[in-house]
Amino acid sequence: MEHSVLCGSRKYPVKEPFVELMKGSLNTFLNAMTYPDKTCYPVASTNLQDFYNLVDVYLDAVFYPKLSEEILQQEGWHYELEEVNNPLLYKGVVFNEMKGAYSSPDRIISKSAQQSIFPDTTYALDSGGDPRDIPQLTYENFKRFHECYYHPSNSFIFFYGDDDPRKRLELLDHYLKDYEYNDCHSEVSLQSQFEEPKKIIQKYYAGKESGKANKGVVTVNWLLSNSLDRLERFRLRLLDYVLLGNPAAPLWKALIDSGLGEDLSTHGLSGGLRQLFFSTGLRGIAVENAEKVETLIFETLQKLSREGIEKDLIESSLNTIEFSLRENNTGSTPRGLSLMLRTLSTWLHGADPIISLKFEDTLSAIKAELASDERLLEKMIEALFLQNNHRATVLLEPDDSLAEKE
């Protein structure tokens, strides 16, 4: 859908308006991104007239796309016959993209970690599309999806800049005035707690390069919190940085120094979802060493919980996070886009969007907590990791023939 709405619309019925904009716009950002629970269509420009033009084109694309059957065939899937006596082939822009993504070990590792923790919610599905399932999509369902979910009632519209707010509302009114409220029930449901930890073994394509075909990956994954509370999420962010914030962090260092693998498989807290989860492990392991890696992770966490975390480590981690928040350096990404994504972490789920941008009160609160309870993080390790049964250990075993099989 992300691709298809940018293939021409009611007001701009050209084949590729996105490509035409790239050629002639003064944009500082022009793209679209699909996440596990949302799709974003951001545009940015430092030239005001150019910005309004981009907004107009994107609003028309999102709410009034052409979405012909041919567009689904082009962007989704279709049959091709290269020669009369050859078998039919599946083709399609996104279908081919996702075939490539499914040959990436990094993609498989992160997907498997997330799906292991959320087997019963939308996060168990691949928002990019599983190549095995894409050909099941019918045109009728495709159209129905747009009618239901690509509706102003299901949209979150965000502006950032010093332009006139009245002009923004005039632009929006032109597109939203013809709609009535529609409840499409798009809330992200909560994953129920596991009664006991799970172990999952999967095959993945490791590649045929020298030495890689016999290397496995193991990740240990925990569901940490359902809360949208800013302070609780900040505590988890701090704990994540203490454990895995840099190569000298105790959990990172223990895993690498063990020699059991080549590199970390996943990097800690996943903060963009409705429920936060934590994932760590090693890639490039001998498959038979998977239990050793899991044991090492728990022994390291138990030691930190029992013996305590160095106060200098906690202080330096908090200072690093505070500096990052105050500097607010988003690099080449427009600042407004960065702020928008932060607001959506709460706004999307019915909570105040502004609380995601505030940090002064939260910083003061976490500093006060650390001053009054020197074992705050150690207690969190005990509760969230050592006593938490909502855990899944995923072992990915290499199979260099998997690509051909699939």
> Element (H or E) spanning 263, and its range?
strand 263-270
d(CA 366, CA 362) in angstroms, rounded, equals 6
From its phi and psi, is residue 335 left (phi > 0), alpha (psi between -120 and 50) or beta? alpha
3-state helix, strand, coil in the chain (%, to 5): 50, 15, 35
On whether the CB atoms of residues 326 and 198 are closer than 8 A, the answer is no
Cα(96)–Cα(77) distance, rounded to whole angstroms?
9
The length of the chain in residues reads: 406
> Which residue type does 98 have?
M
- Which of 69, 75, 187, 327 is flagged as catalytic? 75
- Residue 382's nearest CA partner among 309, 304, 267 is 304
What Rg, from alpha-carbon coordinates, does the chain have? 24
Catalytic residue among 2, 262, 322, 397: 2
Q: Is 2 a catalytic residue?
A: yes
Neighbours of 361 (CB within 10 A): 11
- Could you give the residue numbers annotated as active site? 2, 75
